[in-house]
Chain A
Amino acid sequence: MLKIPTGQADAADTLRRPEGDPSLFIRPFTLPWKQEKDKESPIIAFRQVTKIYPLDSGDVTGIDNVSLDIFPGEFIAVMGPSGSGKSTLLNLMGCLDQPSSGEILIEGNSVRMMSDNQLTDLRLELLGFIFQYFNLFPLFDALKNVHYPYATRTGRIYDTSRAKEALREVDLPEPFWTHRPGQLSGGQQQRVAIARALVNDPSILLCDEPTGNLDTHTGTTILNLLSDLSRREGRTIVMVTHDPKTAEYADRIIRIVDGKVAGEKG
């Protein structure tokens, strides 16, 4: 199902990633622009992006003329009141939706002209999603949940070594790997969800209220995990939250009000 450019795919399949060295990880879907990580140019850039939802009762503006830059390795918190457009912003970053106008650049490349399959592959390769309600596959155990995106990308359906590595990365004890989501606590589920987001070694993690459904203590451990992923592994994280305490973990806070960037702090 996943179409890979020939030649490159074979090379990628043979050039296995040495354990523990993310920089040598070669993706089958080799994005043409993905070369040396450039700390100077933004990994995500919005240029006058507007998203309008056309409804029968009139158009609703999700976000309005937003321009922003997010640089590699940044940990960003997006804050704002309910209905201000935080999720809309995150969905656009996640290539789940196309803007009504303006331009979105991921690693310097516009997503405007991309087909649905290209956007899907980009999500698979480059982005990791973490949701408020975990959104694990209820019928699969933790390991299978984490393994799924990796198997989808590589076709290596029996090679769960990478999934196990990801589960270790999020500190989920091994006895829980065979548990289904229903048999795990909220914090454990969110760890599994983070491992699933990490399994394909994405550059960008997008989190919509990742602690919104967790108690304070568990939330703190998850936030520590995220900030660890950012500081230690240099992953770019964009996290939507309405909680100022949560936002403190970020390097920079983007405030959204009525679909507009109202201010930045960081």
Chain B
Amino acid sequence: MNNSRIIFSFAAANIRLHWLRSLLSVLGIIIGVLSIISMGMIQNVSILINIEQIEKIDTFLVTMDTNYAEKKSLDLTLTDRQIYQMKNTVPEAVIAPFFVDYDDSLRKRDEKIFVTIYGLDPQDMNNMFTFQTGGPPRSSTEIVVGSQVAREKNLAIGTQINIVFSNGEESATRIVGILNSKPGIWFMNPDYAVFPYEPWLRDRIDKTGYDNALVKVDDPKDIDGVKNKLIEEMNRRDSIIQVFDQNEFRDQWLKEMESQAVSTTAIAAISLVVAGVSIFNVMVMSVMERCREIGVLRSIGTRRSAIMQMFLIESVLLGIIGTIIGTVLGVMIGYTGISLMGGMKYFSDLSTFICVPYAMSFGVAISLLSGLYPAWKASRLNPIEALRHE
């Protein structure tokens, strides 16, 4: 026998009567569910967008294996011979060796500019990057800058910047090219770099060999093949080279996203706990207000368990109402955020909605938990005392 429908109608009627109070009490649930869902959706799409970006990366980096260098007491420099060998191994890829000028700095009039100075062959520069304007340097007085540093420091074609050498001497250069942004080369960051004329710089700082080499393939899918071929050939006898590719970048980035997700979930969870407290409050109030009604119910033959159910249903109903409103609002906010991010093609991805059932069950569970004690209290009321209550 089941008369939970009657019990349900008691609970529902009471929520309807105190709709304003009920709405206020579910505000916390609404906010909690809303934030879990909207943040979850937006985060998921931003991960998908970034993975897409990462998968577009067609370049990886080769350096000398640090253990090998130590063993042979070499500095971490790749020789012309090694570069030549690499080029022969993977003729289908572009190999662009470069060096870093760590010691020297830059100045635009009175302003120091802290960016990395690279030595990269002008031909390789053409192969690796594309230019917003201009082209590679052809003499010691010409220099190319990355897109981000150009934007931040207000640099344009023709702007003069000086290279300040560690011994205090300076050499004036003029900007002849600005690169397009090339994301994902986290090991180099060409967006925040300058490229003087390589043969001149090499001569000026007395550099032999290369610190690293960029390896670019036509199709990002070929990265693994090219990488393995290189490692197999170069490290046949000894582990000479080391490779850093986008997988490393992705792992690191995903880890970062994960910790970010944990903290947003924690914030949302806290708001849900607060929501639980407010529902608890309303339920305790409801029990106190309806003391007399409980007394009548008990005296005309309603069991304790039914009273308990009645109040549990009430608080779960509050939770469900809050959860539904929160879900609708959360999906709307998520939708808005995702379209602002330009990630609409990932909106309908199933993984974007994984947070929805999670947040919904959390919202309902919290309301059930916070209703337990008041409901138990109500079921324990002495009917005589309860009837006397005014």
Question: A residues near B, CB below 8 A?
Answer: 1-2, 4, 9, 28, 91, 94, 96-97, 116-117, 120-121, 123-125, 127-129, 131, 135, 137-140, 144, 148-149, 151-155, 157, 196-197, 200
Contact = CB atoms under 8 A, between A and B. Distances in A.
Interface string B304-327: 111001000000000000000000
B201 to A, nearest CB: 86
A139 B6 CA distance: 12
Contacts of B295: 135
Given A123-B301, A124-B300, A149-B300, A139 B13 contact: yes
Nearest to A133: B292
Contacts of B17: 139
A44 to B, nearest CB: 17
Given A1-B1, A129-B299, A135-B295, 19 more contacts: A2-B303, A4-B1, A96-B298, A96-B383, A96-B384, A116-B304, A120-B298, A129-B300, A137-B296, A138-B293, A139-B13, A139-B16, A151-B3, A151-B6, A152-B302, A155-B2, A157-B3, A157-B5, A197-B300
A128 B306 CA distance: 19
Nearest to A155: B1
A94 B387 CA distance: 13
Contacts of A97: 384
Contacts of B309: 1
B301 A153 contact: yes
A28 B1 CA distance: 11
A123 B3 contact: no
A148 B8 CA distance: 12
B148 interface: no
Among A2, A28, A151, max chain B CB count under 10 A is at: A2
Q: Identify whether the interface residues of B are mostly helix, strand, loop, or mixed.
A: helix
Nearest to B305: A1
A103 B292 CA distance: 28
B14 interface: yes
A144 B3 CA distance: 13
Given A1-B309, A129-B299, A148 B6 contact: yes
B5 A139 contact: no
Contacts of B298: 96, 120
A4 B2 CA distance: 12
A1 B2 CA distance: 6
A139 B296 contact: no
A148 B13 CA distance: 14
12 contacts: A9-B1, A96-B384, A120-B303, A128-B300, A137-B293, A138-B293, A139-B10, A149-B301, A152-B301, A154-B1, A155-B2, A197-B300
A124 B293 CA distance: 16
B233 to A, nearest CB: 78
Among B293, B296, B306, B309, max chain A CB count under 10 A is at: B296
Contacts of A124: 300-302
B307 to A, nearest CB: 10
A151 B6 CA distance: 8
A148 B5 CA distance: 11
A152 B10 CA distance: 13
A137 B12 CA distance: 13
Nearest to B302: A152
Given A4-B1, A148-B6, A131 B387 contact: yes
Nearest to B306: A1
A124 B305 CA distance: 15
A96 B387 CA distance: 11
Contacts of A153: 301
Given A135-B387, A139-B13, A157 B303 contact: no
A149 B296 CA distance: 11
B291 to A, nearest CB: 12
B376 to A, nearest CB: 14
Given A96-B384, A123-B299, A157 B304 contact: no
A123 B302 CA distance: 9
Contacts of A94: 299
A1 B296 contact: no
B3 A155 contact: yes
A149 B4 CA distance: 13
Contacts of B4: 1
